[in-house]
Amino acid sequence: MRRSVVAALLAVFASVALARPVHAQAPDNQIDPGMSKAQVIQHLGQPQSISKKDSSLFLYYKNGCEKTCGMLDLVILINDKVVDAIFRDPNRHYTGKSTSPMALTPAEARKASTGAPLKIKADTTTPTKAEVVPAPPAAPVTPPPAPAPDTTKPKTDSTAVKPPRS
């Protein structure tokens, strides 16, 4: 009897597994620039939350390190096209150039919080911080001198009353 129950359960599990639709494959966790929202959801599943601002759409995904990473994974779309993704889940991958800074290890983060200089690998694609140089003080603005009176022509008063002509 026990063998027949086990065999029946195996038959049920096998039929359920085989009856699964082809499109319900496991997500592949890779996001490419230009993907649509539907394609992102197909690859990563439903996001935990979505926010929208103008033509930008932000898809947030749990990554298992929300407390230690300080953020959810994020996919950014503009006009329904992926323009950036920031992943902390090591199983997710964005094939484009992410604007996310490199993640710090806990030891690096502790070192930074003590005031010691933080050593970060140089990234030649990121512009360096420009040196801020204060502008020289502005020279006082003086109004231009008033024009000298014109002495070459006698002034006529057009509003004066003229004597009648005879």
Specify the pLDDT at position 67: 86
Mean pLDDT of 62-71: 87
The per-residue pLDDT for range 108-142, each reduced to its tens digit, is 777 766 665 656 665 555 444 445 455 566 666 66
Architecture of domain 20-111 in CATH? 2-Layer Sandwich (3.30)
d(CA 109, CA 131): 25
pTM attached to this predicted model: 0.49
Question: Residue 31: enclosing H or E segment and its boundaries?
Answer: strand 30-31
Residues of the chain with pLDDT > 90, as a percent, come to 34
The radius of gyration of the chain's CA atoms, rounded to the nearest angstrom, is: 36
Domain boundaries, the chain: 20-111
Do 87 and 93 meet the contact criterion of CB atoms below 8 Å apart?
A: yes
